[in-house]
Structure formats: C-alpha cells, structure tokens
Amino acid sequence: MNIAVFASGNGSNFQVLAEKFPNNVKLAFSDHHEAYVLKRAEKLNVPAVSFELKEFINKATYESELVEILEREKIDLVVLAGYMKIIGPTLLKKYGGRIINIHPSFLPNFAGSPHAIEESWEANRGLGVTVHYVDEGVDTGDVIAQVTLPYLENLAEYEQSVHEVEYRLYPDVIEKMICR
C-alpha cells in the first residue's frame, strides 16, 4: 500500500509514520512551503511536494493538481496528519474512502477545531484522540478508532499525552489497513 501523508506544519506524526512504514510512505505533501514537515521528509528521504492554495485560481484546480500527483505516485491511501485544509469534492471524488485523519479530541467533541487539545482540556470533556475517514464534513467521517484520555491538571502534560497516543494509535490503524 502506497501512502501519502499531508501535513501543514511540524510533521511529527508524519515522521512517526515514515519511520514505522518506510516501504509504504511514498510522499509528503504540505500546503505551506516553509512547513517543517518538508525538512523531516528530506531527512528521511521521502519525496515531498509543496504548493499553496493561493497559487491556484480555485480549490478545484489546487485539488486537481494533488490528484494528478497522487495518481502519478500510485498512492492508495492519503493520511492527514495536521493538514489544516478541508478536503473538497475534487479530491474526495477520486480518493473517497481512502483518506483518513487523526483528530486530537474524542469526536464528535470539538470537531473542526484547530485548538481541540486546549478546548477539550479547558472543558474537561472530549478528552482523547480519534482516527476517522474523511468525508464531505469537517471531522464527521466514520470513526476507525478512538482512545479516551484522563484529565491532567497541567495542559502541557495533557498535550504530551495526546501526542503519545497519536504516535501509537495512527500507526496501529494504518498497520491494520496495510495488512487487510
């Protein structure tokens, strides 16, 4: 199974996946030219592509370029790992049912929030991590796996616990998909 990982920033989940599945992770994509994920990809010898939505006349054209790249690289599964764009109809038409995402809350709590860790911690609800399929909504696709987390008094410690779970849960889910 050939995997492309989409990330908008740091890329720590990308690195975990690329190290765990070096024969499967074939591409890193970022919608930010300066994203650290691109440096991680370079260090791990994973081909990387970067372009931004503002470089295209519309989102459909942007996603059409992505589809061309994914097809050229024979990508079977798109893994979102901190990719902060909503997947649109052009990409969903070609890869629907083959795009997964990880979200740092126990969905449906804090769906769509870029600050789900802080918000779930402050509310002391929805604490956890969810891996789900991507559909037309925002964090509304079918859940693949979820883990609840206990409330910790310190936000930094809670955030660390979220990342530790992400680094175990996402590879576990992907491993099961590869072995199907």
> pLDDT tens digit string along 92-107?
999 999 999 999 999 9
HSE value, Cβ hemisphere, 13 Å, CA-based, for 43 = 12
Does 101 appear as a known binding residue?
Answer: yes
Q: Is 75 in contact with 26 (CB distance < 8 Å)? A: yes
Query: CA-CA distance, 129 to 137, in Å (whole number)?
Result: 18
Residues 6+ apart with CB under 8 A from 178: 1, 21, 24
Q: For residue 74, report the phi and psi dihedrals to the nearest 5 degrees.
A: 55, 45
Indicate the CATH number for domain 1-96.
3.40.50.170
Ranges of each domain in the chain: 1-96, 103-130+147-180
**Catalytic amino acids?**
103
pLDDT per residue as tens digits for the range 10-50 = 999 999 999 999 999 999 999 999 999 999 999 999 999 99
Is 85 labelled a binding residue? yes
- Find, among 29, 66, 71, 21, the residue nearest to 47 by Cα: 29
Global confidence as pTM: 0.96
In this prediction, residue 180 carries a pLDDT of: 79
The amino acid present at 41, given as its one-letter code, is A
- Give the whole-angstrom CA distance, residue 143 versus residue 130: 7
pLDDT value of position 148: 97
Can you give the length of the chain in residues? 180
For the stretch 112-169, pLDDT in tens is 999 999 999 999 999 999 999 999 999 999 999 999 999 999 999 999 999 999 999 9
Tokens of 20: 């765990």
Closest CA to 13 of 142, 132, 141, 104: 104
Residue 8 assigned as binding residue: no
